Structure 1
């Protein structure tokens, strides 16, 4: 029954995507029909935004699931234990810097981190990597630099705040979940273990097998998250947000919320943030640039799919608090 339920859910998600793709390609031909004339134009905007998010995220999802599959096939638990410092606190520093080497965005980081934790990476170290990697990578730095070409320090500030915040959050996660398993035990994991026990595969086939399985598993969360984000983008009244954008106290919270619901890929979100530069405070822009790639609708659904509920809720509470605090301190130190 569980397998049937999963097949039904996956089929519904796939049909939803096909419907949006069909409307994207042929909506103009049907707009003149009486039935479609009754549909508000906002719903066509939802369709366009949904597909733009999907098309933007798919390349990074493919990268993420392939990296995850390579880790599963080629990286042993002993390798992870050797490369990380034994001190639980010192291990957070290289973990937060891994994004420089592995340019993975928030669309794809969750399955990669899940695989690393299953391979033996400490949970708090995986969390630090998961939060920092979508920001501390060369692609995101370059896009931020060019988006704020007249204020290049924004790119450096984004990197610094993300680095410090991810270490602080990793420290808190370690203190709260030390020694606990934060991953969900999934039935397909047992199936894979039994399958590989009875049938040995060469490494290439094993990598492709895990990548395809991970893609279908992760894809449904991406589609649902993109759909919710497109609804927010289409119906959100931005004039209300702009009216409170000058508040140094509330504006960062508003922009963090905006980053969460817009769910823009970290490689492109700087250009969205720069459009608010004339209305929102510098601190709130930085809050958007740091919090959005760490937690958004898409990866929240993935987190609930792969991690235990109490851990995800705790992370969703702690992350915005730490980001807000880090941005606030940064403004106190560096504001002119």
Structure 2
């Protein structure tokens, strides 16, 4: 029965995606028909925004699942233990800087971190990598610097706040969960263990197997998250935010909430944030740029799919608090 429900859910998501693609490709043809003219323009905007999010995220999802599959096939548990510092507190520092070497955005990072934790990486270290990598990487730094050419310190401030926040969250996670297993156990995980104990298998075929399996598993949550984000973008009046844009206390929290539902990829969100530059404080824009890549609608659904509910709820609770406090302190004393 569970398999039938899963198959039905996956089929519905696939059909919805095909419907959106059909409307996207043939919208111009149907504009001349009377039926099409009766559809409110806001619903057409939902379709356009949804597909733009999907098309923007798919290349990074492919990268993420492929890297995840390579880790599963070629990286041993002993290799991970050798490269990490033995001290649980010191290990978070290199983890927070891994994004410089592995520039992975938030659309792709969760499958990679899940695989690393399954391979033996401590949970709190994996979470630090997951939160920091979409922020602390050369691509994001370049896009932020270009988008905020009139505010040259914004790119550096984003890297600094992302670095500090991810480390603090990782340490809190360690204190709360320590060596507790935070991953969900799935049937396919047992299947993977069966494969793992057969070293004579072709590792390249195993890589393709794991990549395809994880792509379909991750993709459905991306579609749901992208659809919810497109609904928000199409129907929410951004002018409602302008009245509190100058408040140093409220504006950062509002922009963090905006970043959560907007779900823009970290390589492009700086251009969205810069469009609010004339009405929002620098601190609130910084909160948008840091919190959005850490937690948004898309990766929340993925987190609930791969991690235990109690752990995800704690992460969703502590992350905005830490980011808000770090941004608030920075804007009060530095920017």
TM (normalized to structure 2)?
0.98
State yes or no: 1:84 paired with 2:84: yes
Match in the other structure for 2:316: 316
1:192-215 deviation per Cα after TM superposition (whole angstroms, max 9, x unaligned): 323555794211111111111111
- 2-side partners of 1:137 and 1:208: how far apart? 27
- 1-side partners of 2:5 and 2:199: how far apart? 27
List alignment gaps of at least 5 residues for structure 1.
none
- 1-side partners of 2:266 and 2:45: how far apart? 22
Match in the other structure for 1:3: 3
- 1-side partners of 2:41 and 2:103: how far apart? 37
- 1-side partners of 2:101 and 2:194: how far apart? 34
- 2-side partners of 1:226 and 1:253: how far apart? 22
1:188 CA drift (Å): 1.1
- 2-side partners of 1:73 and 1:329: how far apart? 44
- 2-side partners of 1:78 and 1:222: how far apart? 32
- 2-side partners of 1:210 and 1:32: how far apart? 45
Count of aligned positions: 335
Match in the other structure for 1:133: 133
1:109-165 deviation per Cα after TM superposition (whole angstroms, max 9, x unaligned): 000000000000000000000000000000000000101112221000000000000
Match in the other structure for 2:219: 219
Match in the other structure for 2:296: 296
- 2-side partners of 1:48 and 1:98: how far apart? 34
1:64 CA drift (Å): 0.4
- 2-side partners of 1:292 and 1:314: how far apart? 17
Report which stretch shifted further, 35-44 or 75-84.
35-44
Match in the other structure for 2:284: 284
1:28 CA drift (Å): 2.1
Match in the other structure for 1:231: 231
List alignment gaps of at least 5 residues for structure 2.
none
1:33 CA drift (Å): 2.5
Listed as ranges, the matches of 1:47-58 within 5 Å are 47-58=47-58
Listed as ranges, the matches of 1:11-30 within 5 Å are 11-30=11-30
TM (normalized to structure 1)?
0.97
Q: CA RMSD in A?
A: 1.2
